[in-house]
Amino acid sequence: MPEPLIKLENVWKIYQLGKVDLEILRGIDLEIAPGNFVVLLGPSGSGKSTLLNIIGLLDVPTKGKVFLEGEDTSKLSEDELANIRGKKIGFIFQQFNLLPNLNALENVTIPMLFQGAPEGERKDRAEFLLSSVGLKERMLHRPFELSGGEQQRIAIARSLANNPDFIVADEPTGNLDSTTGQKIMEILMNLHKKENKTMIVVTHDPTIAEYSEQIVHIKDGQIASNHLGAGRVLWKK
């Protein structure tokens, strides 16, 4: 068995609301193998987006540990975490998070700019990525000139800008109609298969789980069940 790309040990996330402790995550244990396609599935309020933020190192647990390639991330500084996020992790959000005053090409170059890539390299890479998601003819359009599906494809291209080890996607089809959502999932699956990208996708939509190799059901801040391929249950509470 290869070493997990990501490993969570007894992860809790607790917010204090006055004198009340609000437990969002409660004792999460999870391993994600490199090259896997994982869906975190659960209803609104189950804690799945919080879990994704911790996996993506955007947030830290209140208790417990997160390991990336065997390294305890709790021992890293914020600068070190930011460097890992920039180089190793690609992010796709439900709201796309594109800069409205920049065109598609410029939006995709931003992560490379932060990593100090030369201008020519940034432009060539962005053109290649936008072509790969079917937006060769739309590179100079700004977000407001594009459909929701096209904006999400820009976001996918942007997530690949620095050739990350894995991609985290929070409800990537949540603002799209079912047909467009299916096309977006097919793009993600194609990236996973052709480039062996590890994909971690949060959704409340059970049909998205059909694309995954591992389905982790989140309920009330805990893992209720963990399935591999063809619905085979690893364990269940």
Q: Which residues of 102-123 are buried (b: 16+ CB within 10 A; e: fewer)?
A: ebbbbbbbebbeeeebeeeebb
Distance of CA 3 to the CA centre of its chain: 20
Task: List, for residues 82-134, the tens digit of each pLDDT value.
Answer: 999 999 999 998 889 999 999 999 999 999 999 999 999 999 999 999 999 99
Task: List, for residues 138-161, the tens digit of each pLDDT value.
Answer: 999 999 999 999 999 999 999 999
Task: List, for residues 2-22, the tens digit of each pLDDT value.
Answer: 789 999 999 999 999 888 999
Which CATH number is correct for 34-63+76-236, 2.40.70.10, 3.40.50.620, 3.40.50.300, 3.40.1390.10? 3.40.50.300
Q: Where are the domains of the chain?
A: 34-63+76-236
Amino acid letter for position 135: L
Model confidence, pTM:
0.89
Non-local (6+) Cβ contacts of 15 within 8 A are 21, 22, 24
Task: List, for residues 213-227, the tens digit of each pLDDT value.
Answer: 899 999 999 999 988
Lowest mean pLDDT among 28-37, 49-58, 65-74, 199-208: 199-208
CB 45 within 8 A of CB 202: no
Task: Taking the CA atoms of 214, 207, 40 and 35 in sequence, report the sign of the dihedral they define.
Answer: positive
Half-sphere exposure of 195 (CA within 13 A, CB side): 17
